[in-house]
């Protein structure tokens, strides 16, 4: 069993459905938490219910200066970063022919470049420490094309290629990399997708609880698994 106590863990998108579930479980496991989100009031509300005293940072992960400040603040407070959980993400469902350039750019910047930005800054801390773990919560759309979500799908496919490669490159530094591919999860983002013409593939099965994804993240860390599907058989069912 991996001992999360006193491990410094940065979670992006911490005020969202999966982010909140991750935060509460890792707080229960006595981790040092660094919670990042553009929704600062959501972070304040989340932090008020924790047993620990987390560092909460308003952060736009598409802004590299913001990300640098996030990582510097984490190191100043806790002296190290043991785990990064790239959890922030957005979706703007639409047929490609109807996508605005604004929605195209937003999804690629948040879903892909946001994770790249955070990983870049955190790796610079982890390499001298000769240890670390980067976990990214992706989507089934990183494995299976989803109509009405072509740009979202592209961003998630990009994440898979990036983190599989990063796992190979960072092995020599004892930095481990995992990606989680959830099927539908009962979160505000899923409700947004349902009311804005999301992919039919998303709604073929019942939505999982965010806690199921937390279990997948913990399993990835404990077993050093490069990829995990949630549920385990989802890729073969659809």
Structural domains in the chain, sorted by start: 8-232 (3.40.50.720)
Give 29-68 pLDDT, tens digit per residue: 999 999 999 999 999 999 999 999 999 999 999 999 999 9
- What is the per-residue pLDDT across 184-207, written as a single tens digit (0 to 9) for each? 887 666 565 655 555 555 545 688
Whether the pTM exceeds 0.85: the reply is yes
Could you give the residue numbers annotated as active site? 152
Reported confidence tier of residue 233, pLDDT bands at 50, 70, 90: low
What is the per-residue DSSP string for 142-158? GTS--TTBHHHHHHHHH
The band of 237, judged by pLDDT with boundaries at 50, 70 and 90, is very low
Cα 176-81-132 angle, rounded to 5 deg:
15
Position 238 confidence tier, pLDDT thresholds 50, 70, 90? very low
CA atoms within 13 A on the CB side of 121: 24
Surface-to-core class of residue 106, CB atoms within 10 Å of its CB (0-12 exposed, 13-18 middle, 19+ buried)? middle
């Amino acid at each position: 069993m991996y001992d999360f106590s006193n491990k410094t863990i940065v979670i992006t998108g911490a005020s969202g459905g999966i982010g909140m579930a991750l935060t509460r479980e890792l707080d229960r496991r006595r981790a040092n938490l660094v919670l990042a989100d553009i929704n600062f009031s959501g972070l304040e509300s989340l932090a008020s219910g924790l047993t620990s005293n987390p560092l909460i940072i308003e952060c736009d992960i598409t802004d590299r200066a913001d990300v640098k400040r996030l990582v510097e603040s984490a190191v100043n407070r806790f002296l190290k970063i043991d785990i990064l959980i790239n959890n922030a993400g957005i979706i703007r469902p639409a047929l490609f022919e109807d996508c605005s350039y604004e929605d195209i750019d937003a999804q690629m910047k948040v879903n892909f470049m946001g994770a790249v930005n955070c990983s870049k800054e955190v790796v610079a801390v982890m390499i001298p420490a000769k240890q670390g773990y980067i976990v990214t919560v992706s989507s089934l759309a990183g494995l299976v094309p989803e109509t009405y979500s072509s740009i979202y799908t592209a961003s998630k496919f990009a994440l898979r290629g990036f983190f599989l490669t990063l796992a190979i490159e960072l092995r020599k530094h004892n930095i481990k990399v995992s990606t989680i591919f959830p099927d539908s999860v009962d979160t505000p983002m899923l409700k947004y997708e349902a009311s804005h013409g999301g992919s039919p593939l998303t709604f073929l099965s019942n939505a999982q609880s965010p806690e199921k994804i937390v279990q997948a993240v913990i399993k990835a860390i404990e077993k050093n698994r490069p990829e995990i599907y949630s549920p385990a058989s989802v890729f073969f069912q659809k």
